[in-house]
């Protein structure tokens, strides 16, 4: 069964710097084994919401993993309480970040 991964991005190419919930988009990937497939570039319709991270999670409820450059402690707690795994990356490019996660998941 594939795992669905969301990556915060402002341009569809690079991982967003700064708060994930302020990203313009989320690149959505499905990963089976070590083969990620990009299935969608989802507009963050909750961007700028006063509810912050919890509001954004409403549009990511079909994802099991969320990748960003960093998560503050409060955001991580909110995300993980919804059963979504948070992973930070040093990779700049979306594809590299997702491949990194796919490799880790394949080892489990």
Work out the burial of residue 107: count CB atoms within 10 Å of its CB; fewer than 13 is exposed, 13-18 middle, 19 or more buried: exposed
Q: How many domains does the chain have?
A: 1
Q: Domain of 16: which CATH number?
A: 3.30.420.130
Question: What is the pTM (predicted TM-score) of this model?
Answer: 0.91
What is residue 106's three-state secondary structure? helix
Q: Residue 33: is its pLDDT beyond 80?
A: no
Determine how many CB atoms are found less than 10 A away from the CB of residue 39. 12
DSSP letters spanning 35-82: EEEEEEEEE-TTTT-TTTHHHHHGGGTT-SEEEES---HHHHHHHHHT
Cα radius of gyration rounded to whole Å, the chain: 13
**Residue 106 scores a pLDDT above 80:** no
Domain that holds residue 55: 3-107
> What is the pLDDT, as a whole number, of residue 12?
96
37-82: pLDDT as tens digits: 999 999 999 988 888 788 899 999 999 999 999 999 999 999 999 9
């Amino acid at each position: 069964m594939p795992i669905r991964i969301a990556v915060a991005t402002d341009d569809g190419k690079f991982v967003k710097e700064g708060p994930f919930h302020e990203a313009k988009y989320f690149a959505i990937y499905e990963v089976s084994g070590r083969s990620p497939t990009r299935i969608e570039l989802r507009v963050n319709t909750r961007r700028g919401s006063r509810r912050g991270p919890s509001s954004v999670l409403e549009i990511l409820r079909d994802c099991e993993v969320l990748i960003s450059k960093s998560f503050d402690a409060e955001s991580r707690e909110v995300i993980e309480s919804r059963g979504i795994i948070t992973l930070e990356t040093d990779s700049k490019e979306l594809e590299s970040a997702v491949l990194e996660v796919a490799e880790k998941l394949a080892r489990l």
